[in-house]
Structure 1
Amino acid sequence: MTTTPLSKPQIKTIASIILLCCQAASAAVLYFFFNFSWQISLADSVISNSYLAIGCIIISNMLGFYQPKNEKLLYVLLVTLVISAAVVIASKYSLTFLFANETSYISFLDLSDVFKSAVSFICLAWCALANILWYRLEEQSEMQARMLATQNLAKEAELNKLRHQLQPHFLFNSLNSVYALTIVNPTEAGTMITKLAAFLRGTLKRDDEVWVSVADEMEYIQLYLDIEKVRFSHRLSVEVNIAEETLALHLPGTLLQPIVENAIKFGLYNTSTAITITLDVKLENNMLIICVTNPYDPEMKASKGTGFGLSAIRRRLYLLFADSNLLQAESQNNNLYITTLKIPQKDDQNHTH
């Protein structure tokens, strides 16, 4: 929990109210309990508390330029003691000068020196400690703000790093396929290069987007699937089922492509038969759920892997939502491997582009 210190105008307003209350109380005590005239009571109150206010201002300005360490607080109390003595002496001198003919009041001043010194020291010491506390709370608040900004920058840098690392991962595979196609089927190689250029152009356009709509992500995925269909020809079929109400929802950009790539990789791993990859998008309990299903051979070790792509997605999801269970992968008895991605949706969620 972050403590927000009062602002300087608020502190000045509170101090002014306290000073007025002290003046009124001092005047009332002198007038009603010691039977001094209202002129003497008012003058004593105003002059004494004004000097006290000046002492507080001096201490506040001093601490504004110099913040002592814990072991230096004794020096602050010593300075406070000196200023307290100066306040009492100055107020006594001024009141003696004004009411030199008031013998009973002059005697009262002599008797009240110790009491006034104690009250002045307590008030000034409290002012000093309150200023030290205020400046330290302000410094702590600024430090926490800097730490939060640093953490956000580090988080954003890691997210960008993860996103950018996924692009070469796919690009290298595609370039290898293009090279193979240039030998056996130049026409298909040209088609694949065109689609790859469109896909990479779209990647550059959305490079700064953290959040994208489901509709935009599906369009992006369709470009990727077109490239993969050129790579694997008749061996790859894709079935896409998207609930209408999910098209306007949002998810982190470039998040789905590594999951689909992983499904195609392990679905086609070490087999020459045709396979079907299923992509289901739905909304349940205010949660966007994307399921990617691919067949797999349980005897193949590779089917258990969740390479760099999925581990990067897990890290991105944790950085965005602080939840490590939003990406789950499980195998079923019918030799199907299902990867489930969950993206929380909130009505008041602000997506940053």
Structure 2
Amino acid sequence: MEWHKIPFSKRDILFFLLLVFGSATFIAMYYGQSWKTGVADAGFFVIQLVLGLFLLVNMLHYYPPSKINAWPALLFSLVVSVLLVFGGKWLARGILDTNAVFFVFYEKSIPARLGIMFLLLYCVAIFMLLIKNFEKGWNQQQLGEMSRKLSKDAELFYLRQQLQPHFLFNSLNSISALLGSDPKKARLMLQELADFFRASLKKDPMKWERVDEEYKIISQYLSIEKVRFGHRLDFRFNMEEGVGDLMVPPLLIQPLVENAIKHGLYGVTGDILIEFTAKKEGNYFVIVITNPCSQQSGGPRGVGFGLESVERRLYLLFGRKDLLHYKKDNDNFTVSMKIPQPK
């Protein structure tokens, strides 16, 4: 295993070895050895330690424990320490005179050398195991978060893909009906439909937009529906000053508008008025949409695909289920939505 694979910087390793070298020199001199003997002994000990660290790093690389486990590291550190210390004695015996000061000091200090070598290797092994397991846990957490984000993005994309064909089919059915009775209106509606989809397809589903930009898309959508239903459909906007600068996820309001038109016209005879109120409350953008509904027909059945999709998108975006409310009051159906503003 290459040294650059060790989870320490070169500066850390150098500082650690210099600390060991200085400590070994000081200990030798403290026990009556000359500074030359101390430096030689410390250099020899550092060379043994570097060899032990190299063996230890390779062991942990090729035989990593599945979890933090002190026993393999303890056993390996002990075996390597014994081999290095007694191997060093054998090497010194072959090179030096057995009466040499360095060799005599080395032989007398074998128990201490063995204990210090084992302690250093074992501490490094445990520290490396902790780092590796921390990195493994961190990587698993990152993968889990990435997987959840991809799943959420995929569901958001799926909801948007469902909404557009839902609206497209209704519009094409209306165009088909108008082709025979009023070709001019059919062409106008087709042109409005093309402009609407051209604008909506340019939007980045992950990028929020100003309320003013979203209002343009809603206006294009209402123009299509105005051609479709003629004089029966009318709408009124009440927007507080400064609301246009607030931010909203793209195409989140349009399904609410579609739901209001669909269920406002359901069972209602005569003209209908749909009201939009947009305002800021604290750190929220709030939009309230009110449409008439028929008491005799029972009103809209269920909450509709549009409301369900918006409710799901809000939960995926904010993890909350209290941002969308709807109620039926006498002859009106009201939907209110709050969108937290980015900080």
Once the two structures are TM-superposed, the CA of residue 93 in structure 1 deviates from its matched residue by: 4.1
Structure 1: runs of 5 or more not aligned: 1-6, 348-353
Query: RMSD value over aligned CA atoms?
Result: 2.6
Once the two structures are TM-superposed, the CA of residue 145 in structure 1 deviates from its matched residue by: 2.3
The residue number in structure 1 matching 2:217 is 220
The residue number in structure 2 matching 1:89 is 86
The residue number in structure 2 matching 1:28 is 26
1:183 matched to 2:201? The reply is: no
Contact 2:235 2:274 survives alignment (8 Å): yes
1:341 matched to 2:337? The reply is: yes
1:308 matched to 2:271? The reply is: no
Counterpart of 1:26 in 2: which secondary structure? helix
TM-score, normalised on structure 2? Answer: 0.88
In 2, Cα distance between the equivalents of 1:288 and 1:257? 15
Q: Deviations over 1:27-79 (max 9, x none)?
A: 222222x2221211222222113311221122113323442335986455433
Q: Stretches of 4+ moved more than 6 A in 1?
A: none
- AA of the residue aligned to 1:28: F
Counterpart of 2:252 in 1: which secondary structure? coil
Query: Relative contact order (C-alpha < 8 Å, sep 6+): which is higher?
Result: 1
Counterpart of 1:194 in 2: which secondary structure? helix
Contact 1:280 1:291 survives alignment (8 Å): yes
Contact 1:51 1:90 survives alignment (8 Å): no
Contact 1:60 1:127 survives alignment (8 Å): no
Within a 5 Å distance, the mapping from 1:145-224 to structure 2 comes to 145-206=142-203, 210-224=207-221
From the superposition, tell whether residues 84 and 92 of structure 1 become closer, same or farther in structure 2 (CA, over 3 Å). Answer: same
In 2, Cα distance between the equivalents of 1:308 and 1:38? 86
1:320 matched to 2:317? The reply is: yes
Contact 2:327 2:334 survives alignment (8 Å): yes
Once the two structures are TM-superposed, the CA of residue 106 in structure 1 deviates from its matched residue by: 4.4
The residue number in structure 2 matching 1:351 is none
Once the two structures are TM-superposed, the CA of residue 166 in structure 1 deviates from its matched residue by: 0.2
In 1, Cα distance between the equivalents of 2:67 and 2:226? 70
Q: 1:245 aligns with which of 238, 242, 256?
A: 242
More deviation, 292-301/313-322: 292-301
The residue number in structure 2 matching 1:350 is none
Q: Deviations over 1:132-175 (max 9, x none)?
A: 22222223322322222222222111111101100111111112
More deviation, 14-23/334-343: 14-23
More deviation, 67-76/313-322: 67-76
- AA of the residue aligned to 1:142: N
- AA of the residue aligned to 1:311: E
Once the two structures are TM-superposed, the CA of residue 8 in structure 1 deviates from its matched residue by: 5.1
- AA of the residue aligned to 1:341: M
Within a 5 Å distance, the mapping from 1:259-274 to structure 2 comes to 259-274=256-271
Contact 1:213 1:249 survives alignment (8 Å): yes
Percent of residue pairs bearing the same amino acid type: 36
Contact 1:290 1:342 survives alignment (8 Å): yes
In 1, Cα distance between the equivalents of 2:14 and 2:132? 20
In 2, Cα distance between the equivalents of 1:176 and 1:328? 31
In 2, Cα distance between the equivalents of 1:263 and 1:69? 58
Contact 2:243 2:280 survives alignment (8 Å): yes
In 2, Cα distance between the equivalents of 1:263 and 1:136? 54
The residue number in structure 2 matching 1:16 is 14
Counterpart of 2:242 in 1: which secondary structure? helix
In 2, Cα distance between the equivalents of 1:238 and 1:345? 26
In 2, Cα distance between the equivalents of 1:150 and 1:52? 43
Counterpart of 1:31 in 2: which secondary structure? helix
